[in-house]
Amino acid sequence: MWSFIHKLGSPPWFFRFSGNLVAWLLPLTVALLFAGALWGLLFAPPDFKQGNSYRIIYIHVPAAVVALAGYYVMALAGAISLIWRIKMADIAMKAVAPVGAALTGIALVTGAIWGKPTWGTWWVWDARITSMLILFFLYLGVVALFEAYENKAAAAKACAVLSLVGTVNIPIIYKSVDWWYSLHQPASIKFTGESSIDASMLYPLLAMITAFYGLFALAVLMNMRAELIWHHRQSSWVRQWAGTE
Amino acid sequence: MPRADLDTLPLGAAFYRQFLRHGKTLMASPADLLNPLLFFFMVITLFPLGLGPDPQRLSQMAPGILWVVALLASLMVSGKLFASDFEDGSLEQLCLAPHPLAILALAEVLAHWLGTGLLLSLVSPVFAVLLGLPAQALPVLVFSLLLGTLCLTLIGAVGSALTVSIRRGGLLLSLIIIPLHVPVLIFGSTAVIEATLGGNPESWLALLGALVLVSVALGPLAIGAALRISLDNG
Amino acid sequence: MYFESVAEAIYMDGHGVYVWVAYAIATALLLWLVWAPSRQLRQRKAWIIADGQRRASVDAVASAHQDDDVVSVNPDQMETHR
């Protein structure tokens, strides 16, 4: 176990390992994504209240779930980078931020599109959507902070501090937005009420969540590989890989 | 300023010295102290102009308006917190001092808050009256702003420490800090709303108090780490 | 399949526009997430190969001149010729 973790920190080893991982994760994820989407779009029964518009749930919820988890992954990488000063953690953190921002963007856009037929409006200041919007800003902040620093080693450390501060804040933000919403919520409408979901609707959702996790891992690994190659472009293992040595 | 001075002092005295130093720079330029207040005043003026002079509507919106403007005023000044220290090199001396950077930074943040947040909270009833906030909510407004601006200043200091080495970091500072300010805004404005409705603001004030404790405990650590990183960058 | 026909699946009782547009946007963004880093990796690999070839040609020129006993163009070898 420890030797595995130790190896993760070695760029040539990680590059080879991640290459293999991407090679089998890519077809698996694409297949699962395709199957889950077809299942949700064509085979699952419609919701008895919302009709067919609820089918957006199969991309909206997975994107939101993975985007939130992604922030914790980023903060964890940041903590590892700050405590043990492992270069690989810096690269991982930088790779997660744009992926997380894109997933949050998907969750927001699909949420807005879902809102139109369901609530009759593109945007509602609902607790979950508002929290998602704030998460989007948190991601953008990390990306922008990284770009603003000239010294990229310092940039990674700064982003690590920011993402850790954000991690402490996220539960507080979610809780406060929740209270805020329940306080201001008009009594007649209730969107956030938890309803039990039928198995025929739940299974495709679980499949899609798994597929989104796979896609997140894929995109992060691929970002890391591109970054690793550039960072070590002068070293012999990269030149060997490119076939020039 | 001789560095040896700071090295030989015990921690408490170093804290006090740092506190005084920042306080003196604030006092040296009264314009910097007055700017946030003036900003507060002018933006408050904009709301009746934009929303119409209907007193009932204004007083209904007053808690939110007052809190949002206070947040923006605090955000506006927090960018300057470590700027002069960074430019004149005294930040490097702070880092070299034998005392924990987090504690020394906390001294500066507290001095900064006394000059901005405290002042803003004490003056806020004047602006509240302009918007027609019910009188029974005034004490809650002041108290919530006292607690809230302390939080805002500490969180803003983290952002300031992270962006101090970046030229034109102002917009970036708002981007990274505003999302972190959300809970403070919610707890603070809700406390005032509860007070205007004759409800119970105590639980919201207690939540604000909890936020103060968390940010006093964790904020300085992040500020210290961020200041060291900024020195590496610049 | 839940729907009776393809047309019905596209129409989805009037919700089809929303559902399909949402899926299209999500698909485009997800494709971009995977395509962008793979393009970046390809571009960087091309740069590294070109850089390697450039170096190889510089080395070749240098060694050719070394045989002629002429002062090399390669700054690294200037010292040895002097």
pLDDT at B96 over 60: yes
Higher pLDDT, A124 or B195: B195
A220-229, B86-95, B186-195, C7-16: least confident range: C7-16
Residue A47, beta-bridge partner list: A51
Q: Taking the model in full, what pTM does it have?
A: 0.88
Q: Which residues of A touch B207 (CB under 8 A)?
A: 176
CB C28 within 8 A of CB A214: no
C63 — contact with chain A (CB < 8 Å)? no
Joined tokens for residue A104: 């949050």
- Kindly report the number of other CB atoms within 10 A of residue B17's CB atom: 16
Rounded Cα gap, residues B103 and B116, in angstroms: 20
Measuring CA to CA, which residue among B153, B84, B83, B110 is closest to residue B18?
Answer: B110
> Which residues on A lie below 8 Å from C56 (Cβ)?
244
C-beta of residue B108 within 8 angstroms of C-beta of residue B26: no
- Tens-digit pLDDT profile for residues B107-142: 999 999 998 999 999 999 999 999 999 999 999 999
Which has the closest alpha carbon to A48: A223, A228, A196? A196
User: Is any Cβ of chain A less than 8 angstroms from the Cβ of B223?
Assistant: no
d(Cα A87, Cα A169) in Å, to the nearest integer?
A: 26
- Alpha-carbon gap, residue A202 to A239, rounded angstroms: 48
Distance CA A44, CA A22 (A): 30
pLDDT in tens, A152-183: 889 999 999 999 999 988 888 888 888 888 77
| Closest CA–CA distance from residue B221 to any residue of chain A (Å) | 10
Q: Is the pLDDT of residue A244 over 80?
A: no
Q: What is the phi-psi region of residue A51: left when phi exceeds 0, alpha when psi lies from -120 to 50, beta otherwise?
A: left
Contact A161 B225 (CB under 8 A): yes
pLDDT at position C1, please?
A: 67
Say yes or no: ipTM exceeds 0.85: yes
The rounded distance, in Å, linking the Cα atoms of B203 and B25 is: 37
Per-residue confidence band for A62, with pLDDT thresholds at 50, 70 and 90: very high
C in contact with B (at least 3 C-beta pairs within 8 A):
no
B179: chain A residues, CB-CB within 8 Å: 134-135, 137-138, 141, 166, 169, 173
Residue of A99, A52, A30, A46 whose CA lies nearest to A71: A99
**Interior angle at CA B63, CA B57 and CA B68, nearest 5:** 110
**Chain-centroid distance, C-alpha A193:** 25
Spatial distance between the Cα atoms of C12 and B125, rounded to a whole number of angstroms: 56
Confidence (pLDDT) at B1: 47
Residue C73 has pLDDT above 60, yes or no: no
C-alpha atoms less than 13 angstroms from C-alpha of A67 in its C-beta half-sphere: 30
Alpha carbon of A145 to those of A1, A173, B47: distances in Å?
34, 21, 32
pLDDT in tens, B4-61: 466 677 888 888 888 888 888 888 888 888 889 999 999 999 999 998 889 999 999 9
Nearest to A61 by CA among A209, A191, A200, A199: A209
CA atoms within 13 A on the CB side of A29: 20
pLDDT at C67 over 70: no
Which two three-digit tokens encode residue B96? 């070299």
pLDDT of residue B31: 82
Burial environment of residue A4 by CB neighbours within 10 A (0 to 12, 13 to 18, 19 or more): exposed
Question: Which of the four pLDDT bands, split at 50, 70 and 90, describes residue A193?
Answer: very low
Q: What share of chain A is helix, strand, coil (3-state, %, to 5)?
A: 80, 0, 15
